[in-house]
């Protein structure tokens, strides 16, 4: 495919038939081209076909249904109280995320989308629904509550989306889904998205979807050995620490010529600006540049006048660069195939290359998808510590000194050493000179950057030591809400929860329960370990009883579970 170089960053979207205002919203967000699931699902949905699609989180599936939904459900003020679209999702976190995405994409259309989920006040939701909303994004249980109370009217619904349908079935919502669908008009359009398509899902599809267009995104086969020469490393860091972690990794790796990939054009611009402000020589490359600007950027990169090329996938396609030492994924790419294309740019012509990926905790599953595709392991590493950085700087200083000594021409400097030698030991003089060379006076102290990769019970690692063994299964879900309990940083203690993988409990469920029920901020929760039949979570020791009481009075994944102090 030829790279798009004109000022039409959403050219890839414009062929899909979406409303101009939606295309404008995508341009503002910096999306350059549709992901595979978007390319496959948007046209049939716009043609009002039912769709059965296999797509996991992180593939861009939300926009795949939200964009056509918004296109078809343009708000109609007088009838707004008659909800026009319903999206059903398994969890309250997803309800909030999807409603936010619908709001974000539908801003220029003035569409009102609200999340409706259990655990929140019924009265507040009733007031919101009464005011009139175009799109309801709901968890099944709460949607049914509102239908039964006649506070949610679905008679005018044109489109229903079942998002993460396999999860909803796993959580025991099958009957609720039946009852909700029965309350919608039979002539509605229905889209079903699911990460997996087991027979229970196809049975639902057969019953409720009319001649659906079935979409499975086939994975491109990755030729054996394609990435063999590439060292693949990932750092799991919170979004807020990503920039600091990138700077640290760049300082330690000291890459010669690097491409940093971002998902959107907006991210490319922001990151380029920040990196330049931090003293790197970075240039942006995205679909918004014209050919001349693009050529200029590439010329500088080839001539080593730029250290870092910050690019979107579209802009980097077809690039002819020979020596890329490092490829950095500032975001995990939306499609696993894009990862292969990105990192295939390094490690060429028999050279060793390095691929570095920054993943947020909730994106760890995407890393696993990539591993499945490439059949290669991505090593999860700790963000280099301040000690690693110092060691690295000392190394370069040592090398530079060696070269300087060999190059000679030191006579005038020897005079300074001789004058000081009358007063001090020569080794001390040399050590002081190294100190000044390594960290000039006035330089800011570096701080440690937390990697989220600690497992309970694990031995403390030496700084920078890589993590081997099982992947830590920690996810943090949301930033703290106002009014949440923030504990002081201090000792953590373990809580035992009598349910695990067998009940399909995931770290996000535990974080969600603690944040919502114990009002603890997500970031004060420590690591979470999910075993077959139980789970453990670390929480600040000083409020452990409060958390246990809160968890004992609620359910996790719809089940009342034993919750107590972890004796281990
Ligand atoms: P999802 O799979 O829907 O959870 O989306 C994963 C992430 O990809 C979200 O942060 C989206 O904002 C982002 N995203 C979705 N579609 C695109 C696209 N076409 N280009 C760039 N980013 C996208």
Q: Which of 72-81, 196-205, 533-542 shows the lowest per-residue confidence on average (mean pLDDT)?
A: 72-81
Tokens of 375: 């059949």
DSSP letters, 361-390, are GGGHHHHHHHHHHHT---EEEPPPPHHHHH
Query: Which atom in ligand 1 lies closest to the alpha carbon of residue 264?
Result: 21
Q: What is the 263 CA–ligand 1 centroid distance (Å)?
A: 8
Give me the pLDDT at residue 348, please. Answer: 61
Query: Which atom in ligand 1 lies closest to the alpha carbon of residue 35?
Result: 19
Is the same domain home to 314 and 398? no
Is residue 101 within 8 A of residue 123, CB to CB? The reply is: no
Q: Among 9, 89, 163, 263, which residue has the most ligand 1 atoms within 8 Å of its CB, making it the best to mutate?
A: 263
CA-to-CA dists, residue 303 to 287, 289, 377, angstroms: 22, 20, 34
Q: What is the 99 CA–ligand 1 centroid distance (Å)?
A: 14
Which residue is closest in CA terms to ligand 1's atom 12?
60
Q: What is the 536 CA–ligand 1 centroid distance (Å)?
A: 31
Is residue 18 within 8 A of residue 43, CB to CB? The reply is: no
> Is 222 within a domain?
no
Q: What is the 264 CA–ligand 1 centroid distance (Å)?
A: 9
Q: Which residues contact 102 (CB under 8 A, 6 or more apart)?
A: 66, 69, 70, 87, 111, 113, 135, 137
**What's the number of domains the chain is made of?**
4
Which residue is closest in CA terms to ligand 1's atom 13?
60
Is the same domain home to 138 and 194? yes
CA-to-CA dists, residue 84 to 74, 136, 152, 261, angstroms: 9, 8, 11, 38
Structure letter (DSSP) for residue 318: T
Give me the pLDDT at residue 75, please. Answer: 61
Query: What is the pLDDT averaged over residues 364-393?
Result: 85
Any bridge partners for residue 261, and if so which? 311, 329
Structure letter (DSSP) for residue 109: G
Query: Which atom in ligand 1 lies closest to the alpha carbon of residue 55?
Result: 2
d(C-alpha 326, C-alpha 313), whole Å: 15
Q: Is 30 exposed, middle or buried (0-12, 13-18, 19+ CB in 10 A)?
A: buried
Q: Among 23, 58, 63, 333, which residue has the most ligand 1 atoms within 8 Å of its CB, making it the best to mutate?
A: 63
Is residue 77 within 8 A of residue 29, CB to CB? The reply is: no
Q: Is 382 exposed, middle or buried (0-12, 13-18, 19+ CB in 10 A)?
A: buried
d(C-alpha 468, C-alpha 472), whole Å: 10
Query: Which atom in ligand 1 lies closest to the alpha carbon of residue 32?
Result: 20
Which residue is closest in CA terms to ligand 1's atom 11?
60
Give me the pLDDT at residue 80, please. Answer: 54
Nearest to residue 563, comparing CAs of 506, 466, 497?
497
Is the same domain home to 175 and 256? no
> Is 474 within a domain?
no
Is the same domain home to 11 and 153? yes
pLDDT exceeds 80 at position 461: no
Q: Among 11, 60, 87, 333, which residue has the most ligand 1 atoms within 8 Å of its CB, making it the best to mutate?
A: 60
Q: Which single residue is written with the structure tokens 């909700």?
A: 180
Query: What is the pLDDT averaged over residues 189-210?
Result: 94
Which residue is closest in CA terms to ligand 1's atom 16?
60
Question: Coil, helix or strand for 293?
Answer: helix
Residue where one domain finishes, among candidates 216, 240, 259: 216
Provide the residue range defining the domain that includes 286: 230-383
Strand stretches in 177-307, DSSP E:
189-194, 213-216, 230-236, 258-261, 282-285
Q: Which single residue is written with the structure tokens 């809400």?
A: 481
Question: Coil, helix or strand for 214?
Answer: strand
pTM, entire model: 0.65
Is the same domain home to 285 and 425? no
Give me the pLDDT at residue 355, please. Answer: 92
Q: Which of 77-91, 154-168, 244-258, 282-296 shows the lowest per-residue confidence on average (mean pLDDT)?
A: 77-91
Give me the pLDDT at residue 11, please. Answer: 59
DSSP letters, 521-542, are -GGG---EEE-SS-EEEEEEGG
Is residue 475 within 8 A of residue 361, CB to CB? The reply is: yes
Structure letter (DSSP) for residue 299: H
Confidence of residue 220 (pLDDT cuts 50, 70, 90): low
Tokens of 479: 């930033």
Q: Which of 86-90, 375-379, 478-482 shows the lowest per-residue confidence on average (mean pLDDT)?
A: 478-482
Q: What is the 454 CA–ligand 1 centroid distance (Å)?
A: 28
Give me the pLDDT at residue 449, please. Answer: 75
> Is 448 within a domain?
no
Q: What is the 149 CA–ligand 1 centroid distance (Å)?
A: 36
Q: What is the 323 CA–ligand 1 centroid distance (Å)?
A: 30
Is residue 143 within 8 A of residue 153, CB to CB? The reply is: no
Tokens of 400: 């530079």
Is the same domain home to 361 and 394? no
Is residue 321 within 8 A of residue 348, CB to CB? The reply is: no
511: domain CATH number is 3.30.70.330
d(C-alpha 65, C-alpha 63), whole Å: 5
Distance of CA 49 to the CA centre of its chain: 30
Is the same domain home to 397 and 372? no
Share of the chain above pLDDT 90, in %: 39
82: domain CATH number is 3.40.50.300
Confidence of residue 464 (pLDDT cuts 50, 70, 90): very low
Q: What is the pLDDT of residues 108-135, one digit of tens each?
A: 898 999 999 998 889 999 999 998 899 9
Q: What is the 2 CA–ligand 1 centroid distance (Å)?
A: 22
* Element of type H or E holding 353: strand 353-359
Residue where one domain finishes, among candidates 170, 190, 216: 216
Distance of CA 126 to the CA centre of its chain: 33
Query: Which atom in ligand 1 lies closest to the alpha carbon of residue 61?
Result: 3
Any bridge partners for residue 159, and if so which? 85, 189
CA-to-CA dists, residue 513 to 118, 119, 141, angstroms: 12, 10, 17
The rounded mean pLDDT for the chain is: 83
Is residue 126 within 8 A of residue 153, CB to CB? The reply is: no
Q: What is the pLDDT of residues 1-42, one digit of tens each?
A: 334 334 444 558 999 999 999 999 999 999 999 988 999 999
pLDDT exceeds 70 at position 271: yes
Backbone angles phi, psi at 501, to 5 degrees: -55, -35
Higher model confidence: residue 566 or residue 74? 566
Tokens of 262: 């971002």
Higher model confidence: residue 134 or residue 219? 134
Q: What is the 463 CA–ligand 1 centroid distance (Å)?
A: 34
Q: What is the 101 CA–ligand 1 centroid distance (Å)?
A: 10
Tokens of 454: 């600690």
Which residue is closest in CA terms to ligand 1's atom 14?
60
Q: What is the pLDDT of residues 73-96, one digit of tens each?
A: 876 555 555 799 999 999 998 999
Is the same domain home to 376 and 399? no
Q: What is the pLDDT of residues 441-458, one digit of tens each?
A: 545 566 777 777 533 333
Give me the pLDDT at residue 61, please. Answer: 92
Q: Among 35, 54, 330, which residue has the most ligand 1 atoms within 8 Å of its CB, making it the best to mutate?
A: 35
3-state secondary structure 170-186: HCCCHHHHHHHHHCCCC
Is residue 257 within 8 A of residue 323, CB to CB? The reply is: yes
d(C-alpha 2, C-alpha 314), whole Å: 9
Residues having CB within 6 Å of any atom of ligand 1: 31, 34-35, 38, 57-63, 263-264, 334
Residue where one domain finishes, among candidates 151, 184, 216: 216
Nearest to residue 505, comparing CAs of 452, 568, 558, 565?
558
Is the same domain home to 247 and 157? no
Is the same domain home to 22 and 163? yes
Query: Which atom in ligand 1 lies closest to the alpha carbon of residue 13?
Result: 19
Q: What is the 59 CA–ligand 1 centroid distance (Å)?
A: 7
Q: Which single residue is written with the structure tokens 């996810």?
A: 475
> Is 441 within a domain?
no
Is residue 253 within 8 A of residue 321, CB to CB? The reply is: no
Q: What is the 135 CA–ligand 1 centroid distance (Å)?
A: 20
d(C-alpha 114, C-alpha 85), whole Å: 11
Is the same domain home to 193 and 268? no
Tokens of 453: 């990769």
Q: Which single residue is written with the structure tokens 């730029």?
A: 306
Is the same domain home to 210 and 284? no
Q: What share of the chain is helix, strand, coil (3-state, %, to 5)?
A: 45, 15, 40
């Amino acid at each position: 495919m030829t790279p798009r170089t004109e000022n039409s960053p959403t050219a890839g979207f414009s062929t899909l038939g979406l409303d101009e205002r939606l295309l404008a919203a995508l341009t503002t967000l910096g999306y350059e081209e549709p992901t595979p699931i978007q390319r496959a699902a948007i046209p049939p949905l716009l043609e009002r076909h039912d769709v059965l699609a296999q797509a996991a989180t992180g593939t861009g599936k939300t926009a795949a249904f939200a964009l056509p939904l918004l296109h078809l459900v343009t708000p109609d003020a007088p009838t707004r109280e008659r909800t026009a679209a319903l999206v059903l999702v398994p969890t309250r976190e997803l309800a909030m995320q999807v409603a936010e995405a619908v709001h974000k994409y539908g801003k220029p259309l003035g569409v009102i989308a609200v999340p409706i989920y259990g655990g929140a006040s019924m009265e507040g939701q009733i007031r919101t629904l009464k005011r009139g909303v175009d799109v309801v994004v709901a968890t099944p249980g709460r949607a049914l509550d509102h239908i039964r109370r006649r506070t949610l009217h679905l008679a005018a619904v044109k489109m229903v989306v079942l998002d993460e349908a396999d999860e909803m079935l796993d959580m025991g919502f099958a009957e609720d889904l039946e009852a909700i669908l029965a309350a919608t008009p039979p002539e509605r359009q229905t889209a079903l998205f699911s990460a997996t398509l087991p027979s229970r899902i196809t049975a639902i599809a057969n019953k409720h979807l009319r001649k659906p267009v079935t979409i499975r995104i086939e994975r491109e086969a990755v030729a054996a050995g394609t990435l063999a020469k590439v060292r693949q490393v990932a750092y799991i860091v919170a979004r807020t620490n990503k920039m600091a972690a990138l700077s640290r990794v760049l300082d330690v790796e000291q890459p010669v010529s690097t491409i940093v990939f971002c998902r959107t054009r907006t991210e490319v611009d922001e990151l380029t600006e920040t990196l330049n402000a931090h003293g790197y020589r970075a240039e942006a490359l995205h679909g918004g540049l014209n050919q001349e600007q693009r050529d200029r950027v590439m010329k500088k990169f080839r001539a080593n006048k730029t250290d870092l090329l910050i690019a979107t996938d579209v802009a980097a396609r077809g690039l002819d660069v020979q020596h890329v030492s490092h490829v950095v994924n500032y975001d995990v790419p939306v499609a696993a195939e894009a990862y292969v294309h990105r990192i295939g740019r390094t490690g060429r012509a028999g050279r060793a290359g390095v691929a570095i990926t920054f993943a947020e905790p909730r994106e760890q599953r995407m890393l696993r998808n990539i591993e499945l595709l490439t059949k290669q392991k991505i090593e999860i590493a700790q963000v280099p510590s301040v000690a690693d950085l110092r060691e690295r700087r000392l190394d370069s200083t040592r090398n530079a000194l060696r070269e300087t000594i060999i190059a000679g021409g030191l006579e005038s400097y020897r005079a300074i050493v001789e004058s000081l030698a009358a007063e001090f030991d020569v080794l001390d003089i040399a050590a002081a000179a190294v100190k000044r060379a390594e960290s000039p006076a006035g330089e800011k102290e570096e701080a440690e950057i937390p990697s989220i990769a600690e497992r309970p019970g694990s031995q403390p690692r030496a700084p920078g030591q890589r993590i081997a063994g099982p992947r830590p299964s920690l996810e943090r879900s949301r930033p703290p809400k106002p009014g949440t309990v923030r504990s002081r940083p201090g000792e953590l203690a373990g809580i035992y929860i009598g349910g695990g993988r067998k009940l399909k409990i995931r770290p996000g469920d535990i974080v969600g329960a603690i944040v919502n029920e114990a009002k603890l901020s997500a970031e004060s929760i420590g690591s979470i370990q999910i075993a077959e039949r139980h789970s453990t979570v670390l929480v600040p020791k000083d409020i452990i009883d409060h958390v246990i009481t809160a968890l004992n009075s609620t359910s996790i994944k719809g089940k009342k579970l034993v919750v107590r102090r972890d004796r281990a």
